[in-house]
Amino acid sequence: MNESAAREHRTVSRVTGILESVAREGGARMHELATTLDAPKSSVFGLVKGLVSTGYLVEDNGTYRLGPALGNLIPAGGPDVVAAARPSLTDLRARFDETATLSTGAGDALIYVDTVESGQLIRYSPPLRVRRPLYPPSAGKVFLAYLPERRREAYLADVLPADRIPAARAELDLVRAEGVAFNRGETLPDVSAAARPVLVDGLPAAVIAVAGPTSRILDRLPAIAEALVDATAAAASLLAGRSTRPFEITPSA
């Protein structure tokens, strides 16, 4: 079957948006969800009540929280990628005094799930559990590099002008070959980063990155990239032999 671009579906986006908002905030009321989704309260009402009826949400005096049905989707005793990577994040922060992050992929989005921030006054401080584009963040480039070719091409065609695609394609091929991605002020001019994958069965279960102010970190990116080799290997070793599902990638394209 040929890969094609994943297309946003409004109802699906609203349902996932509800679940993500409730998870992020620890609970939310109906009007808060409608505001977050920028959707009519009447539309959100039906979706929320449907999620309650199937156990994905529970209602507590008008506040909606995650329900027990979500636990049925996650194998008991599964590996905790955050716990496996936390020692590596801590070590990287101690070595470079820049912010170390752990991210996962969800569909065509990048999500930071853990961070150990620099102790410096001016530092990179990304919000957790918020969807970000895969390109051009360094961690997102890693996930893109491992996507099947047709799906990757479809994504690039959606987010980049045609004249920029060849350069992005060449960069992602290099990321896959060398195992490291860089962002030199592409997302924000004042922030640069390096990232490597935590590989499980040859695919990225997560990505570890180190980011900081461009003026302070740019010349250190090669050294950071080297340090990330051991950091990601250490995290991967804690996951070895345990059942986990990496980012949604198929091995071939």
Q: Convert the pLDDT of each residue in 136-190 to its tens digit.
A: 999 999 999 998 888 899 999 999 999 999 999 999 999 999 999 999 999 999 9
> How many structural domains are present in the chain?
2
Residue pair 140/112 in contact by the 8 Å Cβ criterion: no
Note whether 86 and 207 are same-domain residues.
Answer: yes
What CATH number is associated with residue 54?
Answer: 1.10.10.10
- Assess if residue 246 is contained within a domain: no
The token pair at 46 is 């039906």
pTM for the whole structure: 0.74
Q: Convert the pLDDT of each residue in 68-126 to its tens digit.
A: 677 656 554 445 889 999 999 999 999 999 999 999 887 788 889 899 999 999 999 99
Angle between helix 10-25 and helix 30-37 axes, rounded to 10 deg? 120
Half-sphere exposure of 147 (CA within 13 A, CB side): 26
- Assess if residue 126 is contained within a domain: yes
Note whether 128 and 192 are same-domain residues.
Answer: yes
Domain extent, residue 16, equals 10-73
